[in-house]
Chain A
Amino acid sequence: MFEGLGHLFDAFQTFANFTTLFNVCWATLVGITIGALPGLTATMGVALLTTLTYKMVPEQAILVLISCYVGAIYGGSRSAILLNIPGTPANAATTLDGFPLAKQGRAGEAMGLATTSSMIGTFIGVFFLALIAPALAEIALDFQSYEYFWLAIFGVVIAGQMCSFDDALKGWIAGFLGLFVAMIGQEGIHAEERFVFGWSELSGGIALIPALVGTFGVAEILTVMRNRAAEMATSVVDHVIPRWKDLWDYRRTVVRSGLIGTAVGIIPGVGEDIGAWISYAAARRASKERELFGKGSKEGLCAAETGNNAAIPGAIIPALTLAVPGSAPAAVLLAAMLIHGLRPGPMIMIESPDFVFQVVWMVVLATIAMGVFGILLTRPLLKILKVPRERLMPVVFVLCVIGPYAITLRLFDIYVTLFFGVLGFILREMKYPMAPLVLGLILGDILDKSLRRALVLSDGDFTPFFFRPISAVLWITTALVIISAIPAVQRGAARVFNWKKA
């Protein structure tokens, strides 16, 4: 306990300087702007900034990326409220009540509530980040290859299920395609080349940043330019400082949404958008004014915005302690940590315990900056939303092209970005979620090495995969998730539920 407080204090000292303040301010502002602009997502923002920060010292680089991440998820609420278009997928639930509020002439009130809810949500999440991450890292020390194998399968299956509620099959397909793409290039045990077909540039495998910039950047540009331009609900803003009474009235909703968001964030690959939806659904179920939901409910808006921002620290927890990201932006963050020579994973509390607490401070600082900018810069941010997409998207595309190139100086990475852009666009059009694909790309290497190492350890015996305690929890949960997605099982469960109700 006291050791933890000591690390927390040491970590704070790292950031008590002017450089930190400067970096937090500009990166959060960039994040809010990226989030507010439809078509620029948090994942794209963090990926593009990764390419711009790799010459910084690691702590400041990760600080910049986390600030951008926090800012972007919050910034997305602006376009959700004013344009009825979620700035990032995490703000989709915000449109349901935010846009009706704006149409009623209460856009400022909605933005103010979104700001405070996002702040509280992130603080709830960061509390659990400080509390859970060290404990989870300790538990993860017991993980062996058997557990990592199941963790990879569990991650892909549960992310596929939760990111594609109405069609889990497509989520799983996306996840397993991601795992398969990760098999391309030299494998990690004998350095044998796989699926390279004589193409030397494929030997190193598919790098994560080009794939992510393609999937979330180029695909998004194609989608935005294909769709019709959106119109703003209002350009008049009422008061943006939220009333304490509103926050007090919805305190239960905010705390519940914060807890749900954090928990959903921890689940591999699921992320902020699902955090917001589940928080929104739970708030609606528990609300006394549920008939207002979807028509401009302040409670619904609070739930969605608390849920998505609480998922940010939640998603960072497994990224830090298991090297398994909780969301797509956290996946980029994980890649950035590796680029900067940091080693997230079970050993983090042994090798660099201060870093975990530095991350806690990074999120706290970014949240404060987000709140300050969110309230003070309401009107300038409205102007950003008026920038025509035709003038913005070509510049963003140039950054999508040159960003991945800047890391390795290979033209090949530009072509990888393009390929994943087109693939991501087609898959999105056919309703395949992108988060499991990205998670699969990251977990592919873990799956590959873990299965083969585990089989060597057990000399081909499969029983440890099923009877070791953590393995058993993981495979049973995975099996239950798969079974529960089968339509016949769902119908049976619904019948049983209705019968009991009757």
Chain B
Amino acid sequence: MHTRPLARADLITGVILVVLGVAAFVESWGMPRLEERNINPWTAPGLVPGMLGILIALLGTVLALRSAFAGAFGPQLPLDDDTPEQRRAAWRRLVLCSTLCLVYSVGLVGHTPFWFATGLFVFTFIVSFEWEWDEAWASRARKLGIAAAIGFLAAVAIPYLFETLFLVRLP
């Protein structure tokens, strides 16, 4: 039996799916049957979600069993041929991107003026990814200028497009 890539992740996903499927079935079973309204019992609201819960649990079981027999408990195969340093760099980029996006969409939008949130986000995003400490100051200043220009354009153009042209009240 050869080890399947992602075997351990699949095992964990399989278990999560079984839990989700069973929970969906239990919740569906407990849904109102609307007997007081004299509805046809075949139209009970929980029928289809309950059926889907069983199917998801079944598929999760197959996935978990398959992974268990395909090396989920042994050493895992790498998914790519990246070096550890490249993987760390990719991970850093992902964390930085997710954090910036989350701060903008949850923390800033709806709580600060939209133009301000957008300009700040675009500027910070570009600078965060392009900034290199070992670069010459002229190059860094140029990057800051470009980021500020794109941020300013985004802060002006996007609200104008939505508010003025499409008459959308922005958050």
Q: How far is the CB of B151 from chain A (nearest CB, A)?
A: 8
Report chain B residues within 8 Å CB of A447: 48
Instruction: Give Cα distance in the complex from A391 to B121, angstroms.
Output: 11
Partner of A399, one of B31, B55, B158, B166: B158
Report whether A176 and B59 are in contact in the complex, using a CB–CB cutoff of 8 Å. Answer: yes
Nearest residue (CB) in A for B9 is A430
Instruction: Give Cα distance in the complex from A331 to B55, angstroms.
Output: 24
Report chain A residues within 8 Å CB of B118: 398
Partner of B48, one of A227, A414, A451: A451
Stretch at the interface among A190-198, A270-278, A374-382: A190-198
Report chain B residues within 8 Å CB of A390: 125-126, 129-130
Stretch at the interface among A126-134, A218-226, A294-302: A218-226
Report chain B residues within 8 Å CB of A189: 43, 45
Partner of B97, one of A173, A226, A414, A448: A226
Report whether B27 and A195 are in contact in the complex, using a CB–CB cutoff of 8 Å. Answer: yes
Instruction: Give Cα distance in the complex from A430 to B167, angstroms.
Output: 41
Q: How far is the CB of B116 from chain A (nearest CB, A)?
A: 12
Q: Convert A163-196 into 0s and 1s, putting 1 for each residue whose CB lies closer than 8 angstroms to a CB of B.
A: 0000001101100110110010001011010110
Q: Convert A194-221 into 0s and 1s, putting 1 for each residue whose CB lies closer than 8 angstroms to a CB of B.
A: 1100000000000000000000001001
Report whether B166 and A52 are in contact in the complex, using a CB–CB cutoff of 8 Å. Answer: yes
Q: How far is the CB of A489 from chain B (nearest CB, A)?
A: 15
Partner of B93, one of A225, A398, A405, A448: A225
Report whether A411 and B109 are in contact in the complex, using a CB–CB cutoff of 8 Å. Answer: yes
Q: How far is the CB of B21 from chain A (nearest CB, A)?
A: 9
- List B129-171 residues whose CB lies under 8 Å from chain A: 129-130, 146-147, 150, 154, 158, 161-162, 166-171
Taking A411-B171, A430-B6 as contacts, is the C-beta distance between A452 and B37 under 8 angstroms?
no
Q: Convert B40-79 into 0s and 1s, putting 1 for each residue whose CB lies closer than 8 angstroms to a CB of A.
A: 1011111111011101100110110010000000000000
Q: How far is the CB of B72 from chain A (nearest CB, A)?
A: 13
Is B1 in the interface zone, CB < 8 Å from A?
no
Chain A: interface size category? 35 or more
Partner of B94, one of A226, A397, A431: A226
Partner of B52, one of A176, A401, A414: A176
Report whether A180 and B105 are in contact in the complex, using a CB–CB cutoff of 8 Å. Answer: no
Report whether B48 and A183 are in contact in the complex, using a CB–CB cutoff of 8 Å. Answer: yes
Instruction: Give Cα distance in the complex from A455 to B47, angstroms.
Output: 11
Report chain B residues within 8 Å CB of A341: none
Main secondary structure of the interface of A (DSSP, over half): helix
Report whether B45 and A225 are in contact in the complex, using a CB–CB cutoff of 8 Å. Answer: no
Report whether B170 and A456 are in contact in the complex, using a CB–CB cutoff of 8 Å. Answer: no
Is A393 in the interface zone, CB < 8 Å from B?
yes
Is B29 in the interface zone, CB < 8 Å from A?
no
Is B101 in the interface zone, CB < 8 Å from A?
yes
Q: Convert A444-455 into 0s and 1s, putting 1 for each residue whose CB lies closer than 8 angstroms to a CB of B.
A: 000110011101
Known: A176-B56, A405-B170, A417-B105. 12 other contacts (CB 8 A): A173-B17, A176-B55, A190-B34, A194-B49, A218-B101, A393-B125, A394-B122, A395-B158, A398-B122, A411-B109, A414-B105, A414-B171
Instruction: Give Cα distance in the complex from A222 to B47, angstroms.
Output: 37
Report whether B121 and A398 are in contact in the complex, using a CB–CB cutoff of 8 Å. Answer: yes
Is A418 in the interface zone, CB < 8 Å from B?
yes
Report whether A398 and B158 are in contact in the complex, using a CB–CB cutoff of 8 Å. Answer: yes
Report whether A169 and B104 are in contact in the complex, using a CB–CB cutoff of 8 Å. Answer: no
Instruction: Give Cα distance in the complex from A458 to B27, angstroms.
Output: 27
Instruction: Give Cα distance in the complex from A226 to B60, angstroms.
Output: 29
Nearest residue (CB) in A for B124 is A394
- List A374-425 residues whose CB lies under 8 Å from chain B: 388, 390-391, 393-395, 397-399, 401-402, 405-406, 409, 411, 414-415, 417-418, 422
Is A245 in the interface zone, CB < 8 Å from B?
no
